[in-house]
Structure formats: structure tokens, C-alpha cells
Amino acid sequence: MNRLATAVSQGVGRVTGAALGPYQSAVIRIGFSATWLLFLLREFPHRHELYGPDGPWSRSLAQQLIADNGAFTALMWFGGRFWFEVVYALAVLASLLFALGWRTRTASVLFMVGVLSLQNHSVFVGDGGDNVLHLMALYLVFTRCGQVWSLDARRAARVRAARARGERVPDRAGPALWSVLGLFLAAVTATGRLEGEWFVPALLWTVWLGQALWWAAGRRAGAARPRILLDVVATVVHNGALFVIMAETCLIYATAGWYKVQGSRWQDGTAVHYPLHLDYFSPWPALADLLSANGTLVMIVTYGTVLVQVAFPFALLNRQVKNVLLAVMMTEHAVIAVVLGLPFFSLAMIAADAVFLPTSFLRRLGGWAARARARLPRRGGRTPAGDAAGAPEGAEPARVGFPA
């Protein structure tokens, strides 16, 4: 009984004591926001046909679908080409800010709004990676994904250094951003434009009120206990969301693998041959012909794909096997990006896979990036405060302003 109580106590302490996986959450933040940003930039000349007023999926069709499924999209708040351009531009800006880690909590919400607004308006645009991005955009709102490799981490380091010197560092940008977004959210809600199912509107208001509580607890003298409580709640929510992201990734591979097992073309080892000869999936016909000409190679890739996808959830029980399969899957997605012309699907899946990357590897990767950046010339020959790749693991987050 004592051992059980000790184990439970240690488990509770681990879940509530620190936000787990700071490097993993940072790399999936960067991966998904960069994937969406690159997609929006590549499709910028075609944005009106994909999501805007010139597309085959008209506004009236979108209204009928949204009325039926209750999906959230800001594109339906106002009509006209100007509002579409505003939403598209804000989606691009939010993706960039989220990738950089600037005001990460707010940027994560704006990133989610941009993804849902465009994807829910035109549901037939995508290649499979859009579904993964759609889900992860929701989950990332609940994570503390700006602890490392972010502008928030640099700002927190500067705040800690200033406090160590006895200086006060007021946060003006956070309250200003919170006030502007709050006024806009209140106006949209009051005019009845914040429609759809309850989850997304409730999430927007919950995050807004949560930021207010965090700021108020930081401003009030002697409010150590409320700050600790809010920090514990944010940590538990982060750890739960990170677990859901891992479970979702495993579910994607498990369902894909077991459905492939039931297909006759996967059973006879020829499934990979057919997409290589579809015009839509053949940006390099000569390369596709070269790969499909070898029957043995096609059979190995077909069976290997099924084996890796089915085995991956079980491989998590062994670190070495997991790392090997992780490398194989990332390589496979990189090949799919080139051979089948599905770069954004592959980038989304690689970003999802990155949640399982070892912390030691990610720390080394951050160290390499920091050393490469240190070799670049700086203005005035000085190094700014907090210019490392990110805060060290387990570092105490700065309790000033709004949470990252």
C-alpha cells in the first residue's frame, strides 16, 4: 500500500510539477505553423479560387454546410472580398508569429482561428494533411509550447535577468493585445456572429478570461498562491494536451495500417504501384516509372509501409525500436513529398511524428542551431540577452504579464 501511495504521489507530482516535453511541444509548434504558412504563401495567387469568392464552393454552399454541421469559420462573420483578404492575411500573420513564438498563447488561438476559418469554409480543399493540421491546431491551444525556441523564451530570460538586478519590467504589449482582441470578441458575440457549436466560442472566451486571471495574479501583491494554482492548472492542461497529441498520432498510424491490411492490393504487395502512375500524383513521371519498374522494390515498400504503421504504437514500449521506426516514417514521408508531390501532407505528418523525438536529440539540434547563429555577424558586435536557442529544460517560467 505504501509503495502504491508513493507511486501515485510521484505520478501526481510529475504531472503537476512541470510542463513535460518542452522541446517536443516547441518543435510541433514550429512544424505545424510552418506547414500552414508555406501552404498559404504557395496558394496566395489562387486563394480566391480555393477559399474566396471566386471558388466553386460558393458562400451559399458554405452557409448550408455550416448550418448543418455547426463548424466554426470567421469567414462567415462578414461578406465581401475585403473581409476574405483580412482573414487570409491574419492567418498568414498568425502562422508566422506562432512559428516565432511571439505571445505564444495568443498566437496559438489566432492560428487555430485561421486554420478553422479557411478549412471549414471549403472542406474539399486538402490532401489529408489538412485533417491532421485541423486537429493539431486545436490541441496546440492547450499546450505551453513557447517554453523554448521562441521569442517568449528570450523575453522570459530578459525578465529574469532584470528581476535579478532588482528592476521592474512592465508588460505593455500583453494587456494592449488582450484588450483589442477582447473588444473585438465582445463585438462579434454581441452581434450574434459567433455562431457554430459551443466549443470554439467557449474556448475563445476561456482563453481570454484565463489571460486576464494570469495578469491580475501577477500584478497583485502577495498573490503567490493564486499564481501557483494557475501555473499548476496550465501545466496539467499542457501535459494532458501533449498526451492527446501523442495518442492522436498513434491512432492515425494504427487505423491507417489496419485498414491497409484489409485491402487486397496491400495484401498482394502491389498497392504502391498504382499511385505512382496517376497523373495527379506524378510530378516526376520518369522517377515514378523508375521506382515502379522494380517489382521487388514495390513489394518491399508496400509491405514495409503496413508493417511500420501497424507496429509503431507498440514500438513506443521500446525506445530504440521507436527511434528506428520514427526515422523510417519520417524518411517515408519525405519520399512521398517528392515522388507523389504531396509536400504539405508530408510536412504535417513529419511535424506530428516529431512529438516522439528524443529530448537529447532535440537539445543537440538546438545547440547546433545556436552555434550556427552565433557565427553570424551581429549589429554592434554584441549578443542580446536571452539569445540562446531556448530556456534550459526545467527553467522557471517568468511570472510576468501573460503566459506563454
Q: What is the rounded CA–CA span in Å between residue 234 and residue 403?
A: 9
The residues near 175 (Cβ < 8 Å, ≥ 6 apart) are 215, 401, 402
Q: What is the rounded CA–CA span in Å between residue 34 and residue 68?
A: 32
What ranges in 220-284 are assigned the alpha helix state H? 224-261, 264-267
The reported pLDDT for the residue numbered 29 is 97
Question: Which tens digit of pLDDT belongs to each residue from 109-164?
Answer: 999 999 999 999 998 888 888 999 999 999 999 999 999 999 999 999 998 899 88
The reported pLDDT for the residue numbered 243 is 96
Contact (Cβ atoms closer than 8 angstroms) between residue 28 and residue 354: yes
Question: Which tens digit of pLDDT belongs to each residue from 15-70?
Answer: 787 899 999 999 999 999 999 999 999 999 999 999 988 888 888 999 898 988 88
The reported pLDDT for the residue numbered 379 is 55
Contact (Cβ atoms closer than 8 angstroms) between residue 98 and residue 318: no
* Maximum Cα interatomic distance, the chain, rounded to a whole number of Å: 73
The residues near 346 (Cβ < 8 Å, ≥ 6 apart) are 129, 333, 334, 336, 337
Contact (Cβ atoms closer than 8 angstroms) between residue 135 and residue 145: no
